[in-house]
Amino acid sequence: GTASANSVRDTFVRYFREKHGHREVASSPVTPRADPSLLFVNAGMNQFKPLLLGTVDPRSEMAGYKRVVNSQKCLRAGGKHNDLEDVGRDLYHHTFFEMLGSWSFGDYFKEEACSMAWELLTQVYGIPEDQLYVTYFGGDAALRLSPDEETREIWRSIGVSPGRLLPFGLGDNFWEMGETGPCGPCTEIHYDHVRGRDASAQVNAADPEVLEIWNLVFMEYNREADGNLRPLPRRSVDTGLGLERLTAVLQGKRSNYDTDHFTPLLDAIRMGSGARCYRGLVGAADTESVDMAYRVLADHARALAVCIADGILPGMTGPQLVLRRILRRAVRFSSEVLHAPPGLLASLVPTVVETLGDVYPELTRDVTQIMDVINENEEAFMSSLVRGRRIINRTLERSSGAQTFPVDVAWSLYQNLGFPLDLISVMLEERGVRLDSAGLEQREREETESRQPGSEVTGRLSVHAIAELQRNGVPTTDDTPKYSYT
Ligand code: ATP
Ligand code: MG
Ligand code: MG
Ligand code: MG
């Protein structure tokens, strides 16, 4: 295929705007507006939540929206939808991604939504029908929700064969925005990279050959704080299609990273690091995690640029803390796996802006500021990273053969050197050692209980922590940071 990432996005928007009278609405920033139930915008529908709930200010422009289309900047790195751990490991989950969306707010419902989606995929984009599967909600006895037979019949009449039409339960086919908020049964379209076979058992099975591309949600309920489902005042359609996945499908690639959303970034990483070429290997085949490092860096550079442009800076709470985790993960892969000089991560920002700046112009406002923030934060973490690496190595030497890492040491790395726990876990995994997450959770509980209310974690290596490291046989004299790292 030859369709560029930009043309794939344009075709989607134009199909709904020109053929079906949808109004194009700009992406909202990734910072949720006045919504404490979210860390980041995690779906296109977030900005329309008041419209779905029927709480929209009737004088606002949004109140008049009936049919809408857009391309939304999304982040899934914290809260209910959190894909951070998968990023770099697989080829189709990102922290930042673009969600193409179409909506009907109390206008058309299931039948039109399904026909539009099918026509766009099979007629406009030209995806062969025998590479698609469709799932629908199979009901839930405990919640007294019946199977969505109506949707099943709609797909049958569109021509989807029974063998390609599969029911799933709450986990896959009942979409919820967060712990509370709009939700409802959904029907999803999955793509099989291999043609002419029965892969129905591979749908929703974390199989890289058969992946979900489009989710059509029939918004009918609000999940209340007490867990109950309250019917919404009117029924709406909310769809979300992952642009990077769709582009990969249309460009005939198995990996999102082999599309022009990412290839300029992989090239820049190669130029800036001098590491061997990206080969696209995953899992055990990626022996030194070099390919994973490429993917993590490319992904995280996009997430950092987008968030910083929207005013989220790496910090100590909420979305800021998540961004700090993302940054530290990227810095670590850059320095320890690619052996790149400091500054590589920030140097990727102009490439991110080249690929995304036309669609999301806020990225172009102050490229230097984005780079400065990344460089300052990288610098602040580098000396901790070096110290932490030394502590990890010594601990592993002392406990060679052990399957799990001492909880106290991991806790000190986290508490005193600002190592995100997920990062420690990746660093240990490369050495065949596990982090004792149950032990760490226990430790965190004890720590929270003993902490004086109002007292703050300073990030300074405390006397207590030094004692702990020494108990574990870790020399601490030259590992003691003089500053707090935040
Ligand atoms: P998956 O099962 O693959 O994790 P999902 O069911 O969590 O996806 P939805 O919440 O239904 O995803 O979001 C709608 C669409 O957004 C998905 O069908 C997919 O194309 C895309 N998408 C979801 N999560 C990601 C991600 N982390 N990176 C890239 N695209 C994503
Ligand atoms: Mg998911
Ligand atoms: Mg899914
Ligand atoms: Mg889904």
pLDDT for 66 beyond 90: yes
Closest ligand 1 atom to 86 CA: 27
Q: How far is CA 241 from CA 121, 188, 204, 282, 402, in A?
A: 11, 10, 16, 24, 44
Q: Is 92 helix (H, G, I), strand (E, B) or coil?
A: coil
CA distance 280 to 469: 39
Residue whose tokens read 């802006």: 353
54 Cα to the center of ligand 3, angstroms: 27
List CB contacts of 267: < 8 A, sequence separation 6 or more: none
CA 150 to chain CA mean position, Å:
32
**Which of 99, 170, 296 gets mutated to test ligand 1 (max ligand atoms within 8 A of its CB)?**
99
Residue nearest to atom 9 of ligand 1 (CA): 215
Closest ligand 1 atom to 81 CA: 7
Q: Which residues are near ligand 4, the ion (C-beta closer than 5 Å)?
A: 215
Quote ipTM for the complex. 0.99
CA distance 280 to 326: 21
CA distance 138 to 166: 8
From the list 39, 40, 36, the residue with the least C-alpha distance to 96 is: 40
pLDDT for 418 beyond 80: yes
Closest ligand 1 atom to 217 CA: 11
CA distance 440 to 387: 21
CA distance 83 to 94: 7
**Ligand 1 pocket member 213 (CB < 6 A):** yes
pLDDT for 93 equals 98
pLDDT for 483 beyond 70: no
**Which of 97, 121, 133, 168 gets mutated to test ligand 1 (max ligand atoms within 8 A of its CB)?**
97
- Tell me the per-residue pLDDT of 326-375, one tens digit each, with 9 for 90 and over: 999 999 999 999 999 999 999 999 999 999 999 999 999 999 999 999 99
Angle between helices 290-309 and 349-356 (to 10 degrees): 70
CA distance 86 to 83: 5
345 Cα to the center of ligand 3, angstroms: 30
Answer yes or no: are the C-beta atoms of 140 and 103 closer than 8 Å: no
CA 261 to chain CA mean position, Å:
15
172 Cα to the center of ligand 3, angstroms: 5
Residue nearest to atom 3 of ligand 1 (CA): 212
CA distance 128 to 76: 30
Residue whose tokens read 């489009």: 214
* pLDDT range class, residue 477, cuts 50, 70, 90: very low
Helix/strand/coil (H, E, C) string of 418-483? CCCHHHHHHHHHCCCCEECHHHHHHHHHHHHHHCCCCCCCCCCCCHHHHHHHHHCCCCCHHHCCCC
**Ligand 1 pocket member 99 (CB < 6 A):** yes
Q: Give the closest ligand to the alpha carbon of residue 42.
A: 1
| Token pair for 457 | 């974690």
Residue nearest to atom 7 of ligand 1 (CA): 81
DSSP summary character for residue 124: I
CB atoms within 10 A of CB 477: 7
DSSP summary character for residue 185: E
From the list 294, 264, 262, 265, the residue with the least C-alpha distance to 281 is: 294
pLDDT for 139 equals 97
- Report the DSSP beta bridge partners of residue 216: 187, 239
CA distance 44 to 46: 6
* pLDDT range class, residue 462, cuts 50, 70, 90: very low
Residue nearest to atom 26 of ligand 1 (CA): 93
| pTM of the model as a whole | 0.91
**Which of 93, 183, 207, 213 gets mutated to test ligand 1 (max ligand atoms within 8 A of its CB)?**
93
140 Cα to the center of ligand 2, angstroms: 20
Residue whose tokens read 């405390």: 462
**Ligand 1 pocket member 95 (CB < 6 A):** no
300 Cα to the center of ligand 4, angstroms: 22
**Which of 41, 75, 190, 212 gets mutated to test ligand 1 (max ligand atoms within 8 A of its CB)?**
212
Mean pLDDT throughout 449-474?
Answer: 52
- Tell me the per-residue pLDDT of 435-454, one tens digit each, with 9 for 90 and over: 998 999 999 899 888 875 55
pLDDT for 451 equals 72
- Tell me the per-residue pLDDT of 167-194, one tens digit each, with 9 for 90 and over: 999 999 999 988 999 999 999 999 999 9
Strands (DSSP E) contained in 128-207 are 132-137, 165-168, 174-176, 181-192
From the list 268, 377, 373, 271, the residue with the least C-alpha distance to 332 is: 377
Closest ligand 1 atom to 172 CA: 6
